[in-house]
Copies of this chain bind each other. A is one copy, B any other.
């Protein structure tokens, strides 16, 4: 695979056995592998015990609905830091999907959740900490009106990656449109709920800087 871009098993529509086997196969090939959007993560949690995985570290993230399988001999090279913010609590699963993607790429995530416009006073210390940690970019995950990336981008001089979520009720395309139409330059956007895509994109920035 292109060095540094993780291969991924997209879990939607696949059953638990398929997912485990496909992820394991990638881990055998690349040392590490990721599965996302696993529909029945509880069942996967149970089933995976039946496999002989003594040479692997297994990490299951029930919120993110992700699975990481890593060979015990495989060492992830550390390549920098990325900030992750969410507007609400229901945006956290997508944020965690991005975080797990970054972990596979060797990037540390500095997270701060539930700091949206309705509770905007929590945003400032979170941003301050990210700047101090010298993150190379900030992933901002938001549903409903999706205005948080604009607010963040108006305050910082580093790239902001907007991730619209479908957690809101109403017209699902709204936060995507909001982010695309921002008046605060410095934002680019990935598709609705695409935490993995945001993670890869942020990881590629980190990798480029680290080189």
Chain A residues in the interface with B (C-beta under 8 A): 2-5, 8, 12-13, 37, 87-88, 90, 116-118, 120, 136-137, 144-147, 150-151, 154-159, 161, 167-171, 173-193, 196-198, 200-201, 204-205, 207-209
Inter-chain contact A185/B5, CB cutoff 8 Å = yes
**Chain B contacts of A150 at CB under 8 A?**
117, 145, 147
The answer to whether A187 touches B208, judged by C-beta atoms less than 8 angstroms apart, is no
B13 touches A178 (CB 8 A): no
Contact of A161 among B5, B37, B188 (CB under 8 A): B188
- Identical chains in the assembly: 8
Bound Cα distance from A180 to B12, whole angstroms: 18
Q: Are A201 and B186 touching (Cβ within 8 A)?
A: yes
| Residues from chain B with Cβ under 8 Å of A180 in the complex | 170-171, 174, 176, 189-192
8 Å CB contact of A157 from B5, B37, B88, B177 = B5
**Please, which residue of chain B has its CB at the minimum distance from the CB of A171?**
B177
Contact B157 A207 (CB under 8 A): yes
Of B158, B169, B181, the contact of A168 (CB 8 Å cutoff): B181
Enumerate chain B residues within 8 angstroms of A198, measured Cβ to Cβ: 188
Whether A145 contacts B178 by the Cβ 8 Å rule is yes
Cα distance A145–B182 when bound, in Å? 5
- Minimum Cβ distance to chain B for residue A93 (Å): 10
How close is A201's CB to chain B, nearest CB, in angstroms?
5
